[in-house]
Amino acid sequence: MTDLNQLELDLINAIGAAETAAEVEELRVAALGKSGTISGLLKGMGAMSPEERREKGPVINGLRDRVQSALGARKAELEAAELESRLQAERVDLSLPARPRRKGGVHPTMQVMEEMISLFADMGFAVAEGPDVEDDFHNFTALNFPPKHPAREMHDTFFLKPDPQTGERKVLRTHTSPVQVRTMMSQTPPIRIVAPGRTFRKDSDATHTPMFHQVEGLVIDKGVHMGHLKWTLETFVARFFELDGIQARFRPHHFPFTEPSAEMDIRCDRSGGTLKLNEGDDWMEILGCGMVHPNVLRACGLDPEEWQGFAFGMGVDRLAMLKYGIPDLRPMFDADVRWLAHYGFSPFAAPSSAGGLS
């Protein structure tokens, strides 16, 4: 019969000399596997007499238990050493200075405004600007607002104190349309401009703030019609969202300064908590537009029998929310640098049609 003492000594020495967990596993199979030496001894007990089994059984079982313990202990020792080696190799010295963080960033509103200006510039539009504080004529009268229109009331518009001498009450402009009026009064058609800037209205919720940003557009020329307006807006929206095309519809609406007037909707799917364009059966209003009202042309000194045009306007902040997944408009004006670090853009990544927008 095999010398059990020598067998145990050889196995214990081999286990102690094992340098990897794989070598320990090989020794376990050689000793305790189906064809292992100790397993063979256990199987051989079936051929022994009852007296031999009583004598040899405890000895062989004790050998098996001691070898199993040695194998487990060596495996745990090697795994602990391997873990310590990995921890040393992957250790990070937290006392080292961190990589320099980007200081500052471009606000999403400014990023989107630059994207819009870039796209309209490719279509031949110039940029026009005007004052934030406007008089009644440029903000309301020239744009065909009737005297008792709700937009003239205190609940919607920020009025300044009356002038001590004239009694005139100026307003914080409620849209950038006064820039269109000033352009038509100072330039000879043809005209093709966009007017980006800040606007002000008494409104505040998740999608409205008292101060917000608009980009309005104006085209004045001979023979201009709704087809030109439709192509311009569909082309812009598709390029802005970086799509090959856009599925849109134009619904009749009312604006004092355009006739006919329309709101542009784009097809979308809001299921699953994400906005997917050109999919689903839902529609989302994205901007207002229309043909310039003849009364507006007359107020600006243009003959509506000779000149026609179209105008449109859209909220910059709202487009930023839609494109970049910003859930609430109000934090955009909270001056929180943490918010800007998350949603801001690199100042070196100027948007362009050739180099990419976002």
Read off the pLDDT of residues 309-344 as tens digits, 9 standing for 90 and up: 999 999 999 999 989 888 888 888 888 888 888 888
Mean pLDDT of 150-177: 84
48-52, 188-192, 232-236, 285-289: segment of lowest average pLDDT? 48-52
Looking at the structure, tell me whether residues 83 and 124 fall in a common domain: no
3-state SS track over the chain: CCCHHHHHHHHHHHHHHCCCHHHHHHHHHHHHCCCCHHHHHHHHHHHCCHHHHHHHHHHHHHHHHHHHHHHHHHHHHHHHHHHHHHHHHCCCCCCCCCCCCCCCCECHHHHHHHHHHHHHHHCCCEECCCCCEECHHHHCHHHCCCCCCHHHCCCCCCECCCCCCCCCCCEECCCCHHHHHHHHHHCCCCEEEEEEEEEECCCCECCECCEEEEEEEEEEECCCCHHHHHHHHHHHHHHHCCCCCCCEEEEEEEECCEEEEEEEEEEEECHHHCCEECCCCEEEEEEEEEEECHHHHHHCCCCCCCCEEEEEEEEHHHHHHHHHCCCCCHHHHCCCHHHHHHHCECCCCCCECCCECC
- Establish if 32 belongs to a structural domain: yes
Last residue of a domain, one of 35, 57, 89: 89
The reply to whether 176 and 79 lie within a common domain is no
More confident residue, 36 or 134: 134
At 63 the pLDDT is 78
Same-domain pairing of 144 and 215: yes
Mean pLDDT for 138-142 is 93
Give the mean pLDDT of 12-28. Answer: 85
Examine the pLDDT at 139 and tell me if it is beyond 90: yes
Based on the fold, state whether residues 156 and 206 are members of the same structural domain. yes
Share of the chain above pLDDT 70, in %: 93
Identify the bridge partners of residue 262 per DSSP, sorted by sequence position: 252, 289
What is residue 237's predicted lDDT score, i.e. its pLDDT? 95
**Final residue in a domain of this structure, among 57, 89, 121:** 89
pLDDT beyond 70 at 353: no
| Whole-number pLDDT of residue 218 | 97
329 or 284: which leads in pLDDT:
284
Indicate whether 208 and 79 sit together in one domain.
Answer: no
Domain residues for the domain of 38 are 4-89
Asked if residue 349 belongs to a domain, the reply is: no
Q: How much is the pLDDT for 301?
A: 95
Output the pLDDT for position 100: 65
Look up the pTM and report it.
0.68
Predicted confidence at residue 101, as pLDDT, reads: 64
* Domain-terminating residue out of 54, 89, 124: 89
135 and 32 in a common domain: no
Distance in angstroms (rounded) separating the CA atoms of residues 136 and 259: 21
Please state the domain count of the chain.
2
Could you tell me if residue 103 is inside a domain?
Answer: no
Mark whether 287 and 140 lie in a shared domain.
yes
The whole-number pLDDT of residue 118 equals 93
Q: Are residue 21 and residue 133 in the same domain, yes or no?
A: no
- Asked if the model's pLDDT at residue 52 lies above 90, the reply is no
Give the mean pLDDT of 199-207: 77
**Of 76-90, 123-137, 289-303, where does mean pLDDT reach its minimum?**
76-90
pLDDT (average), residues 149-158: 73
Q: Considering the domain boundaries, does residue 203 fall inside one?
A: yes
**Is the residue at 353 inside a domain?**
no
Q: What angle do CA 85, 87, 93 make, to 5 degrees?
A: 130
- Structure confidence at residue 11 (pLDDT): 82
pLDDT of residue 284: 92
Residue 357 domain-assigned (yes or no): no
- Any domain includes 332: yes
Q: Is the pLDDT of residue 261 over 80?
A: yes
Residue 196 confidence (pLDDT): 96
pLDDT of 355 > 60? The answer is: no
